[in-house]
Amino acid sequence: MERHFNYRNDKATLYLISTPIGNLDDITFRAVKIMKEVPILLAEDTRVSQKLLHHFDIDKPLQSFHEHNEYQKADSVLTELSKGNDVGLMSDAGMPLFSDPGSSLVQKALAAGYNVVCLPGANAAVTGLLMSGINATPFYFAGFPERKASKRRMQLESLKYRQET
């Protein structure tokens, strides 16, 4: 895989790969290129992400990376990076780490001195905000609401007086 000048060093790279939210053709050329080139691809729901790979004729296995195995899987990913293998972390739809697992992996990769590159692309929060016509500056992203009703109520109550969109 060709290394580019913007990487910090010649160590392996963890790619954060943004994927389309709805229309598969909204993916970037660079994202498809990286998905084809990296030897290891991680996805939260391999069934969903496999459809994307199939659409772009990418024939490689996906490894699951989700909230229930994130911490254990991070160690095996760091081992692969230490062997010089680049790794791609895909979102099922949108940007990785936005309400998806992976922040601990990124922190560990950065702490170990590996390159971390985020491939820009689809983001549901920003897309929805822009489509609303509401002034987008400034805006606040609170993530998904809590699942438990009492926690969700407290979370929403804390947002009531925010000035941002």
94 and 144: one domain?
Answer: no
3 belongs to a structural domain: no
Kind and range of the H or E element at 34? helix 29-37
Six token digits for residue 20:
């389309």
69 and 113: one domain?
Answer: yes
41 and 113: one domain?
Answer: yes
Residue 122 DSSP label: -
* C-alpha dist (Å) from residue 68 to 4, 6, 84: 34, 33, 26
64 and 141: one domain?
Answer: no
127 belongs to a structural domain: no
Q: Which domain holds residue 91?
A: 13-122
Q: Return the closest-CA partner of residue 110 out of 97, 121, 123.
A: 97
Q: Please list the pLDDT of the chain residue by residue as tens digits (165 residues).
A: 554 545 667 899 999 999 999 899 999 999 999 999 999 999 999 999 999 999 999 999 999 999 999 999 999 999 999 999 999 999 999 889 888 889 999 999 999 999 999 999 888 888 888 889 988 888 888 888 888 999 999 999 999 888 888
148 belongs to a structural domain: yes
Q: What is the tally of structural domains in the chain?
A: 2
114 and 156: one domain?
Answer: no
Q: CATH no. for residue 105?
A: 3.40.1010.10
